[in-house]
């Protein structure tokens, strides 16, 4: 993790068009998406006369449940954003939605994803006189919109997006429309819902449930929907459909298990991964123990498939956030103990298999294994419900630089030794695809973006390839 004040787009987005409680509903929707970003939140609304913007550091519930804040966000149109935690200083000017007064009126933008040519574009724009207010790649889109000449803001946004590369699910709010767009490969999610006469757009369907909205459909890869008082129109700004490359890591870890993405229940996907893992790498043990909460659905699948009983051998304290929130390696280390405690009575003298979703730096696994051994487990086997994470994500999932990924430096045998387990296995890449209902990964045209496991990046990485930025800077600068 970086020590910077730059923008990291591991985020959640939510918008409501045509509801008198648009801002309050947005606050609720963002609360349901809080797992996608805990560092900051913002809502921009429009009341037929003017835009209103409130952006705060911290959790949605801390600022946006206060009546006076919601009362300031007048209007029946609103979009909102939650932003993932980074370390170091955080500047409010980077918190989204970003808002700008443009030639054709005001425009607010909320972005989930990461552009891989933002730095290259930014250099060009600054050379031509653009003055950037933030270090966010999203601001690049606003400057590109400002430079277009089409007759509506929606058309200008299409022109601007034709120039960007990478992953983007975007919401935009203008004085006449709410716009939702997914990048041509649909790397990040975006779904459409309906609540009475209002349309709702959200990163995940769990945000519809909280406000009682019904799920209508996913926005398709490469689709732009423009919602106005009169209708909802679908456009294809990037030309004919390309095969989707939806992020498989959303299923592995990132999304909430009660969400449905591209017709797959995230919970069922995780359970299937656990079953597949049990078939690929069984363990002769007394019990299956999940690393809560991220390992729970996969553990249930593992236990079901292997016929070994499932036990909560580790108890999670729910009053701490995700471990990654902690700024330094040292505190993150300590953070594992803040979050988990061994259920010693269950573990003493038992052979166990621990199931977790992924290993990033390895800190969590090392501490958890030490903890269950101290609690008396006689054998500890570890099964991971994703292939080894060997590559950084440049599309909006917050991963550290490649060198900090345990699996990029060590073999599985070496990792088992470092973590201190009797055996270690990861699901294979084909096993992951099988769990997702495919027969195998189509190596010439993979069905998902799995770059973090394979290094097969589905878009150009122009900022790196063109030399405008090295890998580490792209991770820390342009998100």
In the bound state with ligand AMP, the residue whose beta carbon lies nearer, of 116 and 358, is 358
Q: Which stretch binds ligand AMP (CB under 6 A): 275-283, 316-324, 338-346, 454-462?
A: 316-324
Instruction: Report if residue 360 touches ligand AMP, rule: CB under 6 A.
Output: yes
CA dist 308 and 303 (Å) reads: 5
Site residues (CB under 6 A) for ligand AMP, limited to 237-256: 253
Q: Which of 113, 108, 134 is nearest to 122 (CA)?
A: 134
Q: Which stretch binds ligand AMP (CB under 6 A): 25-33, 143-151, 397-405, 432-440?
A: 397-405
CA dist 434 and 251 (Å) reads: 13
Task: Choose, by CB under 6 A, the member of 44, 227, 289, 359 that binds ligand AMP.
Answer: 359
In the bound state with ligand AMP, the residue whose beta carbon lies nearer, of 166 and 184, is 166
Strand partners, 353: 288, 381
Tokens of 66: 């206060």
Which residues does 379 contact at the CB level (< 8 Å), separation at least 6?
Answer: 285, 351, 352, 422
In the bound state with ligand AMP, the residue whose beta carbon lies nearer, of 208 and 453, is 453
Q: Which stretch binds ligand AMP (CB under 6 A): 41-49, 108-116, 209-217, 396-404?
A: 396-404
In the bound state with ligand AMP, the residue whose beta carbon lies nearer, of 134 and 399, is 399
Tokens of 357: 């979703």
Q: Which of 43, 50, 49, 40 is nearest to 21 (CA)?
A: 43
User: Which residue in 11, 247, 449, 452 is the catalytic one?
Assistant: 11
Q: Which stretch binds ligand AMP (CB under 6 A): 190-198, 203-211, 301-309, 320-328?
A: 320-328
Residue whose entry in the numeric block shows the structure tokens 């609360």: 31
Largest Cα–Cα separation, the chain:
72
Cα 111 to its chain centre, rounded Å, is 11
Exposed e or buried b per residue across 144-174, where buried means at least 16 C-beta atoms within 10 angstroms of its C-beta? bbbebeeeebbbbbbebbeebbbbbbbbbbb
Site string for ligand AMP, 322-341 (x = CB under 6 A): xxx-----------------
* Residue 240 burial (10 A CB sphere; 0-12, 13-18, 19+): exposed
Q: What is the closest distance, in whole angstroms, from the C-beta atom of residue 425 to ligand AMP in the complex?
A: 15
Instruction: Report if residue 114 touches ligand AMP, rule: CB under 6 A.
Output: no
Q: What is the closest distance, in whole angstroms, from the C-beta atom of residue 407 to ligand AMP in the complex?
A: 10
CA dist 331 and 275 (Å) reads: 34
In the bound state with ligand AMP, the residue whose beta carbon lies nearer, of 157 and 354, is 354
Site string for ligand AMP, 202-241 (x = CB under 6 A): ----------------------------------------
Q: What is the closest distance, in whole angstroms, from the C-beta atom of residue 319 to ligand AMP in the complex?
A: 17
Q: What is the closest distance, in whole angstroms, from the C-beta atom of residue 472 to ligand AMP in the complex?
A: 16
CA dist 18 and 196 (Å) reads: 9
Whether residue 240 has a cis bond before it, omega within 30° of 0: no
CA dist 211 and 191 (Å) reads: 14
CA dist 436 and 301 (Å) reads: 13
Applying CB under 6 A, what is the total number of residues that bind ligand AMP?
18
Q: What is the closest distance, in whole angstroms, from the C-beta atom of residue 111 to ligand AMP in the complex?
A: 17
CA dist 51 and 226 (Å) reads: 18
In the bound state with ligand AMP, the residue whose beta carbon lies nearer, of 327 and 376, is 327
CA dist 385 and 387 (Å) reads: 7
Instruction: Report if residue 391 touches ligand AMP, rule: CB under 6 A.
Output: no
Instruction: Report if residue 450 touches ligand AMP, rule: CB under 6 A.
Output: no
Instruction: Report if residue 397 touches ligand AMP, rule: CB under 6 A.
Output: yes
* C-alpha angle 330-336-338 in degrees, rounded to nearest 5: 105
> Is 206 one of the catalytic residues?
no
Q: Which of 410, 321, 314 is nearest to 362 (CA)?
A: 410
Instruction: Report if residue 361 touches ligand AMP, rule: CB under 6 A.
Output: yes
Q: What is the closest distance, in whole angstroms, from the C-beta atom of residue 354 to ligand AMP in the complex?
A: 11
In the bound state with ligand AMP, the residue whose beta carbon lies nearer, of 223 and 276, is 276
In the bound state with ligand AMP, the residue whose beta carbon lies nearer, of 46 and 246, is 246
Site residues (CB under 6 A) for ligand AMP, limited to 287-306: 294
Q: Which helix (H) or strand (E) holds 182?
A: strand 178-182
Task: Choose, by CB under 6 A, the member of 363, 391, 462, 478 that binds ligand AMP.
Answer: 363
Q: Which helix (H) or strand (E) holds 275?
A: helix 266-280
Q: Which of 206, 119, 126 is nearest to 164 (CA)?
A: 119
Q: What is the closest distance, in whole angstroms, from the C-beta atom of residue 326 to ligand AMP in the complex?
A: 10
Which residues does 207 contact at the CB level (< 8 Å), separation at least 6?
Answer: 12, 14, 28, 29, 30, 32, 33, 200
In the bound state with ligand AMP, the residue whose beta carbon lies nearer, of 316 and 322, is 322
In the bound state with ligand AMP, the residue whose beta carbon lies nearer, of 172 and 449, is 449
Instruction: Report if residue 362 touches ligand AMP, rule: CB under 6 A.
Output: yes
What three-state secondary structure class fits 351?
strand
Q: What is the closest distance, in whole angstroms, from the C-beta atom of residue 304 to ligand AMP in the complex?
A: 21
Instruction: Report if residue 357 touches ligand AMP, rule: CB under 6 A.
Output: yes
Residue whose entry in the numeric block shows the structure tokens 């799995």: 450
Instruction: Report if residue 356 touches ligand AMP, rule: CB under 6 A.
Output: yes
Contacting residues toward ligand AMP, per CB under 6 A: 253, 294, 322-324, 356-365, 397-399
Q: Among all residues, which ones are annotated catalytic? A: 11
């Amino acid at each position: 993790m970086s020590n910077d004040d730059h923008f990291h787009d591991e985020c959640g987005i939510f918008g409501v068009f045509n509801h008198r409680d648009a801002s309050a509903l947005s606050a609720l929707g963002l609360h349901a998406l809080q797992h996608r970003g805990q560092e900051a939140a913002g809502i921009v609304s429009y009341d037929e006369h003017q835009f209103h913007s409130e952006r705060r550091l911290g959790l949605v519930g801390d600022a946006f449940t206060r009546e006076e804040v919601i009362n300031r966000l007048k209007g029946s149109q609103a979009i909102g954003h939650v932003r993932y935690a980074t370390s170091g200083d955080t500047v409010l000017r980077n918190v989204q939605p970003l808002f700008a007064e443009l030639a054709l009126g005001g425009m607010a933008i909320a972005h989930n994803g990461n552009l891989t040519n933002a730095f290259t574009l930014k250099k060009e724009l600054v050379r031509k006189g653009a003055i950037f207010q933030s270090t966010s790649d999203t601001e690049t889109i606003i400057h590109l919109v400002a430079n277009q000449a089409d007759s509506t803001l929606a058309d200008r946004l299409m022109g601007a997006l034709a120039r960007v590369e990478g992953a983007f699910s975007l919401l935009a709010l203008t004085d006449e429309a709410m716009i939702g767009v997914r990048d041509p490969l649909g790397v990040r999610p975006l779904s459409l819902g309906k609540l009475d006469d209002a349309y709702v757009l959200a990163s995940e369907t769990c945000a519809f449930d909280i406000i009682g909205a019904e799920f209508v459909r996913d926005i398709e890869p490469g689709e732009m929907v423009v919602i106005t008082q009169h209708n909802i129109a679908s456009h294809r700004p990037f030309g004919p459909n390309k095969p989707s490359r939806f992020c498989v890591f959303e299923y592995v870890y990132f999304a909430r298990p009660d969400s449905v993405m591209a017709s797959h229940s995230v919970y069922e996907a995780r359970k299937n991964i656990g079953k597949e893992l049990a078939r690929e790498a069984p363990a002769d043990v007394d019990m299956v123990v999940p690393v809560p909460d991220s390992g729970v659905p996969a553990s249930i699948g593992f236990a079901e498939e292997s016929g070994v009983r499932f036990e909560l051998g580790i108890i999670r304290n729910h009053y701490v956030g995700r471990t990654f929130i902690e700024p330094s390696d040292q505190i993150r280390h300590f953070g594992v103990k803040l979050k988990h405690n061994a259920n010693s009575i269950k573990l003493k003298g038992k052979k166990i298999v621990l199931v977790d979703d992924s290993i990033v730096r390895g800190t969590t696994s090392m501490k958890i294994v030490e903890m269950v051994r101290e609690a008396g487990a006689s054998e500890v086997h570890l099964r991971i419900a994703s292939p080894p994470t060997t590559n950084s994500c440049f599309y909006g999932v917050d991963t550290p630089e490649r060198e900090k990924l345990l699996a990029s430096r060590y073999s599985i045998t070496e990792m088992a030794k470092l973590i201190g387990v009797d055996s270690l296995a990861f699901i294979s890449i084909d096993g992951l695809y099988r769990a997702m209902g495919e027969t195998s990964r189509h190596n010439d045209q993979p069905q998902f973006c799995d770059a973090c496991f394979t290094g097969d990046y589905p878009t150009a990485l122009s900022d790196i390839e063109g030399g405008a930025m090295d890998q580490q800077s792209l991770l820390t600068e342009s998100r």
